[in-house]
């Protein structure tokens, strides 16, 4: 496939960070497209993936990347909306992303979702670089369109440079508080033990060559072995989104991280009630450099190889869950594949007891992250599920004896039907947020109130 090059697959790069810190703008700048303008309120509604081939990386990075020095085929970027859970980014045995870019606005510094992202990166041991974005907003900054950052920095006044340093050292300090040693990327020798901080502007393109050079270097140097996989085997991927698509019914947006999926494959997908076995009806590929979530004219393809974003149309996908595994059966025993998917679903099965709160989350990955956070806070869970808060969850919460457990914690979910009214009537507390630790904190405050 076009994502393969010298037998190596494309590294998957997740772009994470707080709302509005510039994740989409950054990718936009790299793509040279205008995805952001097509978005309602410039807020990313869905998760998408963008393949940037090596020659485009070379073009954007200019003198900093010589494409002939690399044998990786390019980079596959996954954009994650700040208000949405990026915790769908799980795969067999850990993180879906091979590398991540943590975007931090130099004016805002670390924010709740920055903290959450860094915790997930640490837990999954995903190597990352920090893009310290919006350096162009430093008062007096002189723009040098698309220039490498050190070149632009040399041309700035002392006053600007001083402010630049102050802001950057603040971020380096925050990284240190989060347990990571970091420095300006050009001073970093070993990117595995030190986090490289790359000052950038998604608006002016300054520092973007550096960012791509650092990512390519990191991937080429430390990940080449992991990229040398047989991409002709039966495909393995992760569901990013379950989506209604006109003319296709319920479809899956999938990131394929291993092997190949073909248009005539039988696949097994993780669902609310266990593995779903179904036959692919169509494999839909966004055109190169186009975003999966805004591209309406999909191209039907016969097969697609890792690493790629692909939309799968097939019957019986209504119960599929975001964050769940997808496997092509081809040549393998169906029962074995079902067992594999079952096992992966069980990996995130949460320890539940007879007494505890009800937890709901939007994806399998976010449910896992919620469960981890609650275990740390020693809050017992009675039921944990992917999905919106339904009346039956309220009914469940009323069965507990202890007042402190009459609660539902919902991460990035809505309430269905009369669930909210019923909770009110039955004295069940409902907590909802799209920041995990805020949910935990609000719940802890509620418990303290009871105990007082």
Residue ranges of the binding site: 17-24, 79-83, 133-136
Q: What is the distance, to the nearest Å, from the Cα of residue 279 to the centroid of all Cα atoms in its chain? A: 27
Binding residue (CB under 6 A) for ligand GTP from 137, 142, 150, 398: 137
Q: Which stretch binds Mg ion (CB under 5 A): 3-11, 23-31, 102-110, 347-355?
A: 23-31
Should residue 134 be labelled a site residue for ligand GTP when binding is judged by CB under 6 A? yes
Partner from Mg ion, ligand GTP, none contacting 374, C-beta within 5 to 8 A by type:
none
Q: Which residue is nearest to ligand GTP (CB)?
A: 82
DSSP labels for 117-133? HHHHHHHTT--EEEEEE
Q: Which stretch binds ligand GTP (CB under 6 A): 88-96, 198-206, 420-428, 437-445?
A: 198-206
Three-state DSSP state, 22: coil
H runs (alpha helix) in 303-418: 334-347, 364-376, 391-397
- Binding site for GTP, by residue number, is 17-24, 79-83, 133-136
The residue (of 103 and 168) whose beta carbon lies closer to Mg ion is 103
The residue (of 71 and 161) whose beta carbon lies closer to ligand GTP is 161
CA separation for the pair 353, 356 (Å, rounded): 7
The mark string for 76-105 relative to ligand GTP (x by CB under 6 A, - otherwise) is -----xx-----------------------
CA separation for the pair 262, 302 (Å, rounded): 6
Should residue 113 be labelled a site residue for Mg ion when binding is judged by CB under 5 A? no
Binding residue (CB under 6 A) for ligand GTP from 6, 42, 155, 424: 42
Q: Which two tokens stand for residue 306?
A: 């890792």
Binding residue (CB under 5 A) for Mg ion from 3, 10, 24, 91: 24
Q: Which two tokens stand for residue 246?
A: 């006109």
DSSP state of 151: H
The residue (of 152 and 366) whose beta carbon lies closer to Mg ion is 366
Three-state DSSP state, 96: coil
Q: Which stretch binds ligand GTP (CB under 6 A): 23-31, 185-193, 224-232, 281-289?
A: 23-31
Q: Which two tokens stand for residue 268?
A: 């097994």
Do the bridges between strand 74-79 and strand 48-53 make them parallel or antiparallel, or are there none, so unpaired? antiparallel
Partner from ligand GTP, Mg ion, none contacting 22, C-beta within 5 to 8 A by type:
ligand GTP
CA separation for the pair 178, 122 (Å, rounded): 9
CA separation for the pair 104, 110 (Å, rounded): 7
Of 156, 5, 157, 139, nearest in space to 71 by CA? 5
Should residue 203 be labelled a site residue for ligand GTP when binding is judged by CB under 6 A? yes
Binding residue (CB under 6 A) for ligand GTP from 136, 241, 258, 385: 136
Q: What is the distance, to the nearest Å, from the Cα of residue 163 to the centroid of all Cα atoms in its chain? A: 32
Partner from ligand GTP, Mg ion, none contacting 258, C-beta within 5 to 8 A by type:
none
Should residue 22 be labelled a site residue for ligand GTP when binding is judged by CB under 6 A? yes
Q: Which stretch binds ligand GTP (CB under 6 A): 184-192, 197-205, 318-326, 433-441?
A: 197-205
Binding residue (CB under 5 A) for Mg ion from 3, 4, 10, 44: 44
Residue 287 burial class via C-beta count within 10 angstroms: exposed 0-12, middle 13-18, buried 19 and up = exposed
Q: Which two tokens stand for residue 70?
A: 């690399």
Sort residue 140 into left (φ over 0), alpha (ψ -120 to 50) or beta. left
Should residue 24 be labelled a site residue for ligand GTP when binding is judged by CB under 6 A? yes
Partner from Mg ion, ligand GTP, none contacting 432, C-beta within 5 to 8 A by type:
none
CA separation for the pair 199, 106 (Å, rounded): 9
| Interface contacts to Mg ion, rule CB under 5 A | 23-24, 44
| Interface contacts to ligand GTP, rule CB under 6 A | 17, 19-25, 36, 42-44, 81-82, 133-134, 136-137, 201-203
């Amino acid at each position: 496939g076009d994502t393969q090059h010298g037998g190596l697959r494309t590294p998957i790069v997740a772009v994470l960070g707080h709302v509005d810190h510039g994740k989409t703008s950054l990718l936009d700048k790299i793509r040279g497209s205008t995805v952001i303008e097509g978005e309602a309120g410039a807020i990313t509604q869905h998760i998408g993936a963008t393949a940037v081939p090596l020659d485009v990386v070379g073009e954007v990075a200019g003198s900093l990347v010589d494409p002939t020095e690399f044998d990786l085929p390019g980079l596959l970027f996954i954009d994650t909306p700040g208000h949405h859970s990026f915790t769908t980014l799980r795969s067999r045995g850990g993180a879906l992303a091979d590398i991540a870019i943590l975007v931090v606005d130099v004016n805002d510094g670390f924010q709740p979702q920055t903290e959450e992202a860094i915790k997930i990166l640490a837990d999954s041991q995903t190597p990352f670089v920090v893009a310290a974005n919006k350096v162009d907003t430093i008062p007096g900054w002189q723009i040098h369109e698309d220039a490498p950052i050190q070149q632009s920095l040399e041309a700035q006044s002392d006053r600007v440079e001083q402010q630049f340093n102050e802001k950057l050292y603040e971020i380096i300090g925050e990284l240190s508080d989060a347990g990571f040693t970091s420095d300006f990327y050009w001073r970093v020798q070993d990117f595995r033990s030190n986090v490289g901080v790359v000052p950038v502007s998604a608006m002016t393109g300054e520092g973007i060559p550096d960012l791509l050079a650092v990512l390519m270097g990191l991937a080429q140097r430390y990940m080449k072995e992991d990229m040398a996989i047989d991409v002709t085997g039966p495909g393995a991927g992760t569901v990013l989104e379950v989506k209604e698509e006109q003319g296709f019914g319920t479809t899956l947006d999938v990131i394929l991280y291993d092997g190949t999926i073909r248009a005539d494959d039988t696949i097994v997908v993780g669902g609310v009630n266990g593995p779903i076995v179904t036959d692919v009806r169509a494999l839909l590929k966004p055109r190169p450099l186009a975003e999966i979530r805004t591209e309406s004219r999909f191209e039907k393809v016969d097969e697609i190889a890792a690493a790629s974003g692909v939309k799968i149309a097939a019957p019986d996908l209504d119960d599929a869950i975001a964050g769940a595994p997808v496997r092509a059966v081809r040549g393998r025993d169906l029962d074995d594949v079902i067992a594999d998917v079952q096992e992966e679903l069980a990996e995130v099965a949460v320890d539940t007891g007879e007494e505890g709160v009800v937890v709901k989350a939007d994806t399998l990955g976010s449910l896992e992250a919620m469960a981890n956070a609650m275990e740390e806070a020693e809050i017992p869970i009675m039921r944990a599920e992917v999905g919106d808060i339904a009346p039956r969850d309220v009914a469940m919460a009323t069965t507990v004896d202890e007042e402190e457990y009459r609660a539902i914690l919902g991460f990035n979910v809505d309430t269905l039907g009369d669930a909210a009214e019923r909770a009110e009537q039955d004295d069940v507390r409902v907590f909802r947020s799209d920041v995990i630790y805020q949910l935990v904190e609000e719940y802890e405050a509620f418990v303290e109130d009871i105990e007082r």
